Amino acid sequence: MKMSRDFIEKVTASNASVFTGPGTNSYLIGRNDITLVDPGPKIDAHIENLVKLGKGKIKRILVTHTHRDHSPAAKVLGEMLEVPLMGRLLEIDDSLQDRSFKPDRVLEHGDLIKTEEYTIETVHTPGHASNHLCYFIQEQKVMLTGDHIMNGSTVVIAHPDGSMKDYLKSLELLRNYNFNKIGPGHGDFLEDPMAVVDWIIDHRLERERKVVSKLKTFSPVTSKDLVISVYDDVDSKLHPIAIWSLEAHLYKLLEDGIVTYDLTDKIWSFK
């Protein structure tokens, strides 16, 4: 029989899907002064479970970003438990956000949340979303990565709020932190985190090289046609999702001066 919860406990919501994998992970940090990270979607059973596990000791709620599978339960729990909400908002709403989330404290890169049990450092990691934050639990050397890093799939980068250029920079930023475990927004804990970071960067850059190669062959071309050849290693049923990351690559290449985009005809060309 389990007598006490783990110092960092992962609690997965019942919102499994093609986007969320087995569901969105919420994290309870600490024993007597508990921080809840990513309360997840507004699912009654999940909210009740978090309250039960928190045993009246949840003192604050942190959100990695405001996509609708990560933050909607924050408002409910914040009011129920009378605790502050912390995180960031987008400067420009892209219609994909949870508009109910209103932080009592806006977190900046490098902010520290200190308790007698642990210290959480805020790491601003734009890319998947411009307001995305990771949380480094210093004493345990664990990085909670939200949707910056997931276990089981690569994350979707959806332009215009999502940025492939920012995403790659944010992955590089994680090299500055000494952590030995990743707590992802979806899926199980990940060991050997720098190998994970290296793999994701290499995978994204390899995909970018493939985008350039296919553009040289097929341009001018629409995103809808280009995704077929660039993501020929992915089930075609997932192409409507893959096209978001494809366009994130294309907009990065546009910024880099490698491709052009005809807004009128919505076609891409190798420069």
List the domain boundaries for the chain. Answer: 8-191, 200-270
Q: Token pair of 190, please?
A: 């990940």
pLDDT of residue 3: 41
pLDDT of residue 123: 98
Name residue, tokens 């987008």: 90
- Report whether 203 contacts 168 (CB < 8 A): no
pLDDT of residue 185: 97
pLDDT of residue 4: 54
Considering the domain delimited by 8-191, tell me its CATH architecture. 4-Layer Sandwich (3.60)
pLDDT of residue 1: 33
Name residue, tokens 């934050």: 133
Cα–Cα–Cα angle for 35, 75, 181, rounded to 5 degrees = 35
Name residue, tokens 């009011």: 79
Which residues of the chain carry a pLDDT beneath 70?
1-5
Smallest CA-to-CA distance from 43 within 66, 12, 4 is with 12
Would 8-191 and 200-270 be classified into the same CATH topology?
Answer: no
Smallest CA-to-CA distance from 158 within 91, 232, 67, 271 is with 67
* H or E element in which residue 154 lies: none
CATH code of the region 200-270: 1.10.10.10
